[in-house]
């Protein structure tokens, strides 16, 4: 092979390089973003390889097999290269030869990596634990990527889709929680994206969130239409979303499963973030992220003592679960089987940065995934704190304090969730205070314990 000495500067960052101009017979291999695989190339040297340099490659990005004398460039590295012909210097003891790989142009800049899970794993995605850091409760793992040949999910596209791990019990499958985050992409073309989603019963705790990379702001939220009769054999349906207002901006997708009940799960496939024209197929979903009409939120959440009934609170589900009884907001309108979510208006964190409320609910592991209080940041809508009753039998109201002093000056809202319909599955809330001029005295025993423990679950 000809040496291409001087054609490449070492240390160029991935994605910022200018492709080489070489003859086709000088290209050693091609890599296709639509068919992601490792690329193996014969060693161009007459001696073993000591190191490979160029294109910001690291030792973990390739392997060299002495027995076969083959160099393998890993797919997780190649997917980040821009289209064009790229070169690497393959070193022996005292000299090098150059290898070239052509990256086919598939509009990679506008697309997420592995949107169809066709690598058979979660390559390109990051799975996040959110609930107490328990890995057994992680909703999205490589084991959840299923082969179409092994099941009956005929709506899947290609050989794989993201489903449910068949190796664990059905009850644990659907109890799991987590977030699946895509790679970042620049929105281009028509500004429409498409994806296939399915799951259990309709749930406000399972959805697709679209976020700006720059500031983590949630720009859209999409909740799939779920057929209540399809919970045993969940269907994948093709959806589309109009994000054209954000053309040219860097976005990422997060598939969110915040619920721990049997109907809270997602199955996913065929995510396409680049359409040159508006797609002709797919159900158009409307943006369902929370909206508020308070441009200047007060530092005390409105009607936190419920003396005005449920004024300034918004019940999110169509079914009614919340009502005010004896000055307390309760989620048992219709009995313990009632299920619902209610959302406060916005408040600005001020003063000492401490908030408190009185809380009544059943305690224990059977309840803390389903009857809880969530504090969410605005406008990111990121859940920053989640707590449940852990100090009493559910009959008495106890005060809980939350220290949010790291967020003074920022805006938040509460979501009160009753996501379970069994006996004692009810939550009572009263006396919400979000402004203390000076830090109130409290000790660890009355501090609300955060159930969120974010970490990479891969």
Report phi then psi at 210, rounded to 5: -110, 130
Structure tokens at 330: 């309760």
* Angle at 201 (CA atoms; ends 198, 202), nearest 5 degrees: 85
Look at residues 55, 51, 270, 76 and name the one whose alpha carbon lies nearest to residue 159: 270
> Can you tell me the distance from the alpha carbon of 159 to that of 175, in angstroms, rounded to the nearest whole number?
26
Do 109-284 and 314-456 agree at the fold level? yes
What b-and-e string marks burial along 298-310, b requiring 16 or more CB atoms within 10 Å of the CB?
Answer: eebbbbbebeeee
Query: What SS3 state is found at 71?
Result: strand
**Range list of H helices, 106-155:** none
CATH hierarchy code of domain 314-456: 2.60.120.200
Query: What SS3 state is found at 142?
Result: helix
Q: How far is CA 261 from the centre of its chain?
A: 19
Give the torsion through C-alpha atoms of 6, 7, 9, 13, to 10 deg. -170
Q: What is the pLDDT along the chain (458 residues), one digit of tens a residue?
A: 333 333 333 333 334 444 444 444 568 899 999 999 999 999 999 999 999 999 999 999 999 999 999 999 999 999 999 999 999 999 999 999 999 999 999 999 999 999 999 999 999 999 998 876 566 778 899 999 999 876 556 688 999 999 888 888 877 777 788 999 999 999 999 999 999 998 866 677 899 999 999 999 999 999 988 765 554 556 789 999 999 999 999 999 999 998 877 677 899 999 999 999 999 999 999 999 999 987 799 999 999 999 999 999 999 876 688 999 999 999 988 887 788 899 999 999 999 999 999 998 877 666 778 889 999 999 999 999 999 998 877 778 899 999 999 999 999 999 999 887 766 778 999 999 999 999 999 998 999 999 887 655 54
Task: Kindly give, in sequence order, each residue whose CB lies less than 8 Å from that of residue 429, ignoring residues fewer than 6 positions away.
Answer: 328, 329, 330, 357, 358, 359, 360, 373, 416
- Residue ranges per structural domain of the chain: 24-106, 109-284, 314-456
Q: Which helix (H) or strand (E) holds 386?
A: strand 383-387
> Can you tell me the distance from the alpha carbon of 135 to that of 139, in angstroms, rounded to the nearest whole number?
9
> Can you tell me the distance from the alpha carbon of 175 to that of 194, in angstroms, rounded to the nearest whole number?
27
What b-and-e string marks burial along 367-398, b requiring 16 or more CB atoms within 10 Å of the CB?
Answer: bbbbbbbbbbbbbbbbbbbbbbbbeeebeebe
Task: Kindly give, in sequence order, each residue whose CB lies less than 8 Å from that of residue 365, ignoring residues fewer than 6 positions away.
Answer: none
Selected from 3.40.50, 2.60.40, 1.50.10, 2.30.30, the CATH number assigned to the domain covering 24-106 reads: 2.60.40
Task: Kindly give, in sequence order, each residue whose CB lies less than 8 Å from that of residue 366, ignoring residues fewer than 6 positions away.
Answer: none
Selected from 3.20.20.70, 2.60.120.200, 1.10.3720.10, 3.30.9.10, the CATH number assigned to the domain covering 109-284 reads: 2.60.120.200
Look at residues 288, 339, 341, 287 and name the one whose alpha carbon lies nearest to residue 313: 341
- Helix%, strand%, coil% for the chain, nearest 5: 10, 35, 55
Task: Kindly give, in sequence order, each residue whose CB lies less than 8 Å from that of residue 348, ignoring residues fewer than 6 positions away.
Answer: 297, 298, 299, 409, 410, 411
Q: Can you give the pTM of this predicted structure?
A: 0.89
């Amino acid at each position: 092979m000809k040496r291409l000495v001087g054609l490449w500067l070492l240390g160029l960052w991935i994605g910022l390089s200018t492709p080489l101009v070489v003859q086709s017979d000088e290209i050693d291999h091609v890599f296709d973003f639509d068919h992601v695989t490792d690329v193996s190339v014969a060693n161009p040297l007459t001696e073993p390889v000591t190191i490979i340099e160029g294109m910001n490659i690291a030792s973990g990005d390739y392997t060299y097999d002495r027995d076969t004398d083959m160099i393998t460039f890993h797919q997780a590295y190649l997917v980040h290269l821009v289209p064009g012909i790229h070169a690497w210097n393959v070193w022996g003891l005292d000299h090098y030869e150059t290898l070239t790989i052509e990256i086919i142009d598939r509009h990679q800049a506008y697309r997420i990596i592995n949107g169809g899970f066709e690598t058979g794993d979660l390559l390109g995605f990051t799975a996040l634990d959110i609930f107490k850091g328990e890995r057994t409760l992680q909703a999205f793992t490589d084991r959840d990527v299923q082969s179409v040949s092994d099941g009956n999910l005929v709506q899947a596209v290609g050989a794989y889709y993201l489903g449910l791990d068949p190796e664990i019990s059905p009850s644990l499958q659907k109890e799991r929680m987590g977030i699946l985050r895509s790679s970042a992409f620049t929105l281009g073309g028509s500004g429409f994206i498409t994806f296939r989603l399915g799951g259990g019963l309709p749930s406000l705790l399972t959805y697709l969130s679209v976020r700006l990379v720059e500031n983590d702001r949630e720009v859209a939220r999409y909740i799939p239409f779920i057929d209540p009769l399809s919970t045993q054999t969940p269907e994948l349906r093709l959806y589309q979303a109009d994000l054209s207002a954000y053309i040219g901006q860097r976005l990422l997708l997060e598939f969110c499963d915040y619920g721990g009940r049997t109907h809270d799960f997602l199955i996913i496939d065929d995510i396409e973030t680049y359409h040159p024209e508006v797609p002709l197929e797919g159900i158009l979903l409307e943006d369902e992220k929370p909206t508020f009409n308070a441009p200047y939120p007060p530092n005390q959440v409105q009607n936190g003592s419920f003396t005005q009934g449920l004024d300034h609170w918004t019940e999110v589900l169509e079914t009614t679960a919340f009502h005010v009884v004896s000055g307390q907001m309760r989620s048992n309108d219709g009995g313990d089987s009632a299920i619902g979510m209610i959302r406060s208006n916005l408040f600005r964190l001020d003063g000492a940065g401490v908030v408190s409320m009185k809380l009544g609910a059943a305690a224990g592991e059977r309840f803390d995934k389903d009857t809880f209080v969530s504090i969410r940041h605005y406008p990111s809508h990121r859940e920053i704190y989640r707590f449940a009753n852990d100090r009493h039998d559910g009959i008495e109201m106890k005060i809980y304090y939350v220290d949010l002093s790291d967020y003074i000056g920022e805006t938040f809202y509460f979501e009160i969730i009753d996501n379970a319909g069994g006996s004692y599955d009810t939550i009572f809330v009263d006396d919400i205070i979000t402004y203390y001029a000076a830090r109130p005295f409290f000790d660890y025993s009355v501090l609300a314990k955060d159930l969120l423990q974010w970490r990479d679950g891969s």
